[in-house]
Chain A
Amino acid sequence: MALLQVRDLNKRFGGLHAVNSVSFDVQKGAIKSVIGPNGAGKTTLFNLICGSLGADSGAVKFDSKSILGLKPYQIASTGVSRTFQNIKMFPGMTALENVMVGLHTKSKAGFWAGMFPLPATRREEKKIRARAHELLELLDIDQFADIEASSLAFGQQRAVEFARALASDPTLLLLDEPAAGLNIYETAEVARLITKIQQQGITVLLVEHDMSLVMDISDEIVVLSFGQHIAEGTPGEIQHNKEVIQIYLGE
């Protein structure tokens, strides 16, 4: 059974059918990419899966459980984590603190425990800190731990964002255009990180513009155009798909 199942998903914005009966599966352990020209409905699809937009109809099942209609924070706690196209670091917080926020679902201390920090709470806090360092190390950016995250270079911020998204121990990681705004070197680094993340046993679904990145790392690709599912297959199949070539290069 596929880890993520999207069935007949629909979303309209007024007269625009942004996502039109889209169905696909993401197999456990795979890197799957959603590509398509501008306005194809990729980001809308992404937001529907994450819960930041409500769907008009259809189904999204994660680990055989429906997640459609849940709020983003509820979806996050089921084991789906995400990054943002325009990297959203928490301003005024260090790289380490950003990742520590990412560990929210892995810790418990509430308002009472926060105001009256008993030994158990302090231990938890120590664990959070240690785990955050581990994640930064995993992505080779622990040297930036105490630097304000939003003042780092774009590529480094992207890595911090990955660490933050990995903090919740997700089964599925959703990446919204991870190469957006990065130069070719940084993009190559991102590709390396995504492969590394996959090696941790995490399934990856990404929406991306950068063809070189998508073709290099994806196991499978879904092509959208004007909200519709056009093609699906391995990078090799997609590169030779007539319809896809037509969409990208014209007649």
Chain B
Amino acid sequence: MASRKLTSIALLVAVVVAVQVITQLTGTNYYLTQLTMTMYSCLLIVGLCLVMGYAGQISLGHAGFFAIGGYTSASLTTMNLLPAFENGSSCVTALNKMGLLVTRTSMFGEPLLTVHPWFACLLAIAITALIAFLIGIPVLKLKGHYLAMATLGFGIIIFRIVLAMEFFGEADGISDVPGFTLLPGLTVNGDMDNRVVNYYIAAAVLITGFILLLNLIDSRVGRALRGIHGAEDAADAMGIDTARYKLYTFVLSAVFAAVAGVLLTHYTGGISPSDAGVMKSVRYVAIVAIGGMASLWGALTMGGLLNFLSLRGLFGSYDDAVFGAILIIIMLFAPEGVLRLSIWSKIKPTKEAK
């Protein structure tokens, strides 16, 4: 079991490396940009897969968590604190003393004093986790359609907030977000000559997150979650605190969404209200469904494939329509996901055939 997991992960790493080498050899380096963005979206999608496929809860508000993460980091790393510092604001001075602020120059050569990206990132994750926790307590008492509607409502609220507030740049969103130096030499930004490094950073983050989730579903908690999904009252009778497990899973997946939001925002250098949009949430749900709900591998493959095609513009202006259509088709014809369609099992050799 453990060795099979190891082999699969090794294969995944090999594919990631192979893709990079191929783009290098064929001079199609520009694909790496979309692939990097795709991998961050996949991080959110595998987190959502845990909530939907394993804990059996739906969330139509995950773009909201993505946006909370992205917007928090973007606003903190672009907000110029220099005027406040010069006015002697005690709060800013204290932050500066703790080394949580950095000075840099803007595109126009003006000096800026902003929050350190690492601090902004951790704050973004903490805020997202807190909001997910507070929203989750009442909302996860709901089931089925009601939960879907409540999380949809949450997503809409976040969308309207970032659209309406001047602090978040209204309809323009926030741009000129600086790079995020994770470690010396490893900076998350959109520089052309930093493409390969960023591709591998995204891959490393995604694969790490993915392994953590694979571990989790194989553990006592994973079994408890599948139990809750399958027969909640029986899980309850086994001594599982179902409400707490659902809540923690929800928060964990929100953290995955926040990390994706933070890193993608620093990578693309900005975030806009459309990233918080309801259609984004629907898209994530659709991809988890196509992947087969209770399949992290399915969510990862389908997330990788469809996000990449969408970012390459294959679906043109029908982008959202395509994902809506996919969701309908999957629900009708392959509720177990395309990877479990009976046609595949016909192609795959069965146990008897072996």
Interface residues of A (CB under 8 A from B): 50, 52, 71-73, 76-77, 81-82, 84, 88-93, 97, 100-102, 104-105, 107-111, 113-117, 121, 124-125, 128, 164-165, 167-168
Contacts and interface: CB of A to CB of B under 8 A. Distances in A.
Contacts of B252: 111
Contact of B223 (A76, A100, A110, A117): A100
A121 B248 CA distance: 19
A76 B234 CA distance: 11
B239 A115 contact: no
**Which among B222, B237, B252 has the highest number of chain A CB atoms within 10 Å?**
B237
A101 B221 contact: no
B97 interface: no
Given A90-B230, A91-B231, A117-B215, A73 B242 contact: yes
Nearest to A121: B219
B240 interface: yes
B147 interface: no
B223 A97 contact: yes
Contact of A91 (B216, B219, B223, B230): B230
Nearest to A77: B239
A114 B50 CA distance: 13
Contacts of B248: 111
Nearest to B251: A111
Interface residues of B, number: 28
Contacts of B240: 73, 101, 104
A93 B226 contact: yes
B219 A168 contact: no
Contact of B233 (A52, A101, A107): A52
B241 A73 contact: yes
Contact of A84 (B223, B234, B239): B234
Nearest to B219: A114
A101 B240 CA distance: 9
Interface in B214-230: 215-216, 218-224, 226-227, 230
Contact of B237 (A81, A107, A111, A115): A81
Which are the 5 A-B pairs with shortest beta-carbon distances?
A114-B219, A76-B239, A105-B239, A88-B234, A90-B230
Nearest to A100: B223
Contact of A90 (B212, B231, B236): B231
Contacts of A117: 215, 219
Contacts of A109: 219-221
A71 B243 CA distance: 11
B235 interface: yes
A115 B214 CA distance: 8
Given A88-B231, A91-B231, A102 B238 contact: yes
A114 B239 contact: no
A92 B239 CA distance: 20
Contact of B220 (A84, A114, A116, A165): A114
Interface string B199-220: 0000000000000110110111
Contact of A93 (B213, B230, B236, B241): B230
